[in-house]
Each structure stands twice: as structure tokens, then as C-alpha cells.
């Protein structure tokens, strides 16, 4: 089949890769270029932690397994999936950040979790000055070198002569025979199917096409749709795994730097991106890093980053039109599920519908949209 993938973020790339493997004639376009948006600014914690309902937890969990398989399959290309687990701690005096609830919830879902004491905390991460004597370890969880993963998949596509074109899709029109796609340069091209994996802009493309795909509008920033992501300078601090807490979320990067998020400043995304905010957040990040590692670690930049956020908080995966010509692939857990969803979309294009996706179909919005408004999204990405 002749298939267009719209968007060369992590989801568009993995989808194109699987479609090429299945022998389709694939074109992939991006209005800016590969990895221009959320995929390049992602904390990339690979997890199924507190991702509810149970169907969403299972989908994310399958996402972790798919990354593991992908890493093993292409092990001779390097290591980008670091499955060293995630340590979670609560520094509040009254232990109010909900770790006990997370433990119970995870145990009920049979999601591996261990209570760990101060000796184990020190053994796992000797470089950390732990502000607590207990925590949780989620051994299945991982961090992904998001740039390395994207480059790898893009490289595989290039080997198959599929190179992302810089082109902007305006709208699509489907009929029983195929899809006519209108581009911003005024051209129109015909495909058998179109996969809309344009992140936060997917809703806009669907809207212009008369299709229903409710994705949050990024023009009204806030903690649901935006996050403040810090990137430190490379450091000699030896951090092995992701740490998530009420004070700071931090994880290592392959060049020795770290990604940082601070739960208490996320609400300030409502102020919109401005230099004063970024400077203030940088100062808070450096203070929290110093408190965690006992040394000054410079934060090189703070990125005001937009998420692709389906209005009800759950992934939107499936056909948008009655002719099964336009397919949507939008989720805010895209890093966790990229290796999985790319494969499932290709299976569905072949006609093998996945039960894992049953509750994530776009058709659920036919009855109306119930927006999710988490007060603090961080720690659930």
C-alpha cells in the first residue's frame, strides 16, 4: 500500500519503520524536520507507573516490553534503553506525596515494586545525599536516550530509502478508494492510507479535515500540556537511573549531563514562556540538584516544552473515518510506547486489530469529550 505518515517524531518514525518492514511504499513528512517537537525534549522515563485505568497501564507495560525487545534485536547498534529501574522517594515530613498509594496500586496491578531502605538507596545511587531513609524501586522501569533512539530508527528508514521530507500537511480527504492530502505548498497527493502522528498538531489537521481528534490546544499553557525541562552541563556525578520525588525528578543522559524536572514549579507554565521564568526555574533546579548531590551542578538550559495531550488524557489510536483511510496516533506517553505502537499500527494497517487498543479508539469521542485536568501531571508522564 502507498502510505503517508504525517510527523517524524518518535511515533511517526517507529510507525514508518514498521510499515517499511511490512513492505509498504512509505512516505514520511514533517513540517519542520525529524524530532522537531516533543520527542526531542522528552524526559523519556519508560514506565507504566500510576497510569490508569488498568487498560492504559497494560498498554504502557507492553510498551516497556517492546523497547526491551527492540533493544535486544538491534543490540549491535548500541544501547539506548537503560532498564535500571526507577527510585521514587517522598521527602515531605508527613509522607503526603502518595508513595504508599503507589505501592498498593502497583502491587494490585502486579507491577513490580519493592520497598527499599537507606542501605539499598545508598547501594543503588551512592552519589545521592538521600533526604529520606526509605523509597520505592520500580525495577521494570527505564530511561531512553530519546535522541539516539530516534536517530537509529531514522537511520533504518534511510537504509530503505525512506527519508523524511520537509512538508506541511494542511488537510486530508478520504473516500472509499484512498486519501487525497493537501499540502501547505498547494500541492495535492494521493495515498491509500494516511497515519496522522503530528503530535500536538494532529487535532488541527483532523479539524481541518472534518474529523474528530481532540488534542489539547498548546496556546493556553499549563501543567497539563507543558513542562519545564532542565538540561545540566555534563558532570562527573555518577547517576545510574531515574529518580522521581516530590522535590526533583532527575535522570542521566548519555553525554554525562542530566535531565531535571521540579514538580513545585510546573504550575508556573501557566505564565507562558518568558526569560524571567526560565531564569528563576534554572536557579531552583540548581538548588535542588545541589541538595540531592551535595555539589553545584550547572543547569545549561531550561526548555519550555509542549506535550501532545489527548483531551481525556488517554491515547487516541485508530481510524478516524468510515473508509479506514485516515488513522490517528496521538499519546502523551509516546516515549514509553513508541516501539510498541509503531508495530501495532502496522499490524492494524494489515488488518490485524489489536485488543490492547480497544479502549483507545477515536470513536469514544462520538459521545462527547470529557477533558482530564490533573493538578500535577509530573510523575505520571
Catalog residues that contact ligand FAD under the rule CB under 6 A. Answer: 6-12, 29-32, 36-39, 41-45, 168-169, 197-199, 201, 205, 227, 229, 305, 307-308, 331-336, 381
Report residue 303: phi and psi, to 5°: -105, 125
CB of 42 to ligand FAD, least distance (A): 3
**Residue 205 vs 297, nearer CB to ligand FAD:** 205
Q: Tell me the C-alpha distance between 288 and 275, whole Å.
A: 20
CB of 225 to ligand FAD, least distance (A): 9
CB of 307 to ligand FAD, least distance (A): 5
**Residue 199 vs 362, nearer CB to ligand FAD:** 199
**Residue 50 vs 117, nearer CB to ligand FAD:** 50
CB of 92 to ligand FAD, least distance (A): 22
CB of 14 to ligand FAD, least distance (A): 8
Instruction: Indicate the angle between helix axes 334-349 and 54-73, nearest 10 degrees.
Output: 90
Q: Can you tell me which residue has the cell 502522528?
A: 197
Residue with the shortest CB distance to ligand FAD: 9
**Residue 155 vs 294, nearer CB to ligand FAD:** 155
**Residue 125 vs 141, nearer CB to ligand FAD:** 141
CB of 76 to ligand FAD, least distance (A): 25
CB of 10 to ligand FAD, least distance (A): 5
**Residue 117 vs 267, nearer CB to ligand FAD:** 267
Residue among 175, 207, 202 nearest 329 (CA): 202
CB of 261 to ligand FAD, least distance (A): 7
**Residue 272 vs 294, nearer CB to ligand FAD:** 272
Q: Can you tell me which residue has the cell 497527493?
A: 189
**Residue 123 vs 300, nearer CB to ligand FAD:** 300
Residues in the chain: 381
**Residue 94 vs 210, nearer CB to ligand FAD:** 210
Total Cβ atoms within 10 A of residue 315: 25
Q: Tell me the C-alpha distance between 190 and 25, whole Å.
A: 12
Q: Tell me the C-alpha distance between 145 and 44, whole Å.
A: 7
CB of 16 to ligand FAD, least distance (A): 11
Q: Can you tell me which residue has the cell 527510585?
A: 87
CB of 295 to ligand FAD, least distance (A): 25
Q: Tell me the C-alpha distance between 34 and 308, whole Å.
A: 16
**Residue 235 vs 381, nearer CB to ligand FAD:** 381
Q: Tell me the C-alpha distance between 175 and 300, whole Å.
A: 50
Amino acid at each position: 500500500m502507498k502510505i503517508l505518515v504525517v510527523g517524524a517524531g518518535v511515533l511517526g518514525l517507529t510507525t514508518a519503520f514498521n510499515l517499511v518492514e511490512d513492505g509498504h511504499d512509505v512516505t514520511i513528512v514533517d513540517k519542520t524536520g525529524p524530532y522537531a517537537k516533543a520527542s526531542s525534549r522528552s524526559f523519556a522515563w519508560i514506565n507504566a507507573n500510576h497510569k490508569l485505568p488498568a487498560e492504559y497501564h497494560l498498554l504502557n507495560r507492553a510498551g516497556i516490553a517492546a523497547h526491551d525487545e527492540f533493544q535486544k534485536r538491534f543490540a549491535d547498534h548500541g544501547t539506548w534503553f537503560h532498564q535500571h529501574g526507577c527510585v521514587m522517594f517522598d521527602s515531605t515530613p508527613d509522607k503526603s506525596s502518595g508513595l504508599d498509594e503507589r505501592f498498593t496500586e502497583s502491587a494490585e496491578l502486579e507491577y513490580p515494586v519493592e520497598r527499599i531502605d537507606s542501605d539499598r538507596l545508598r547501594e543503588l545511587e551512592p552519589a545521592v545525599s538521600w533526604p529520606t531513609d526509605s523509597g520505592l524501586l520500580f525495577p521494570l522501569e527505564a530511561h531512553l536516550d530519546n535522541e539516539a533512539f530516534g536517530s537509529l530508527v531514522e537511520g533504518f528508514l534511510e537504509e530503505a530509502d525512506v527519508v523524511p521530507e520537509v512538508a506541511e500537511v494542511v488537510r486530508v480527504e478520504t473516500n472509499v478508494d484512498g486519501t487525497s492530502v493537501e499540502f501547505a505548498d498547494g500541492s495535492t497527493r494521493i495515498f491509500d492510507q494516511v497515519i496522522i502522528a503530528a503530535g500536538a498538531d494532529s487535532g488541527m489537521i483532523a479539524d481541518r479535515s472534518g474529523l474528530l481528534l481532540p488534542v489539547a490546544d498548546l496556546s493556553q499553557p499549563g501543567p497539563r500540556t507543558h513542562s519545564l525541562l532542565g538540561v545540566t552541563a555534563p558532570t562527573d556525578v555518577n547517576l545510574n537511573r531515574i529518580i522521581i520525588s516530590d522535590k526533583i525528578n532527575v535522570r542521566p543522559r548519555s553525554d554525562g549531563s542530566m535531565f531535571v524536572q521540579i514538580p513545585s514549579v510546573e504550575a508556573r507554565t501557566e505564565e507562558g514562556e518568558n526569560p524571567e521564568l526560565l531564569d528563576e526555574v534554572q536557579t531552583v533546579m540548581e538548588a535542588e540538584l545541589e541538595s540531592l548531590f551535595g555539589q553545584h551542578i550547572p543547569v545549561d538550559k531550561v526548555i519550555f516544552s509542549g506535550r501532545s495531550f489527548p483531551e481525556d488524557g488517554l491515547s487516541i489510536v485508530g481510524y478516524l473515518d468510515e473508509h479506514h483511510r485516515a488513522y490517528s496516533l496521538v499519546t502523551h506517553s509516546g516515549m514509553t510506547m513508541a516501539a510498541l505502537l509503531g508495530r501495532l499500527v502496522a499490524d492494524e494497517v494489515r488488518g490485524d486489530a489489536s485488543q490492547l487498543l480497544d479502549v483507545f479508539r477515536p470513536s469514544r469521542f462520538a459521545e462527547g469529550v470529557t477533558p482530564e485536568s490533573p493538578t500535577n501531571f509530573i510523575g505520571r508522564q
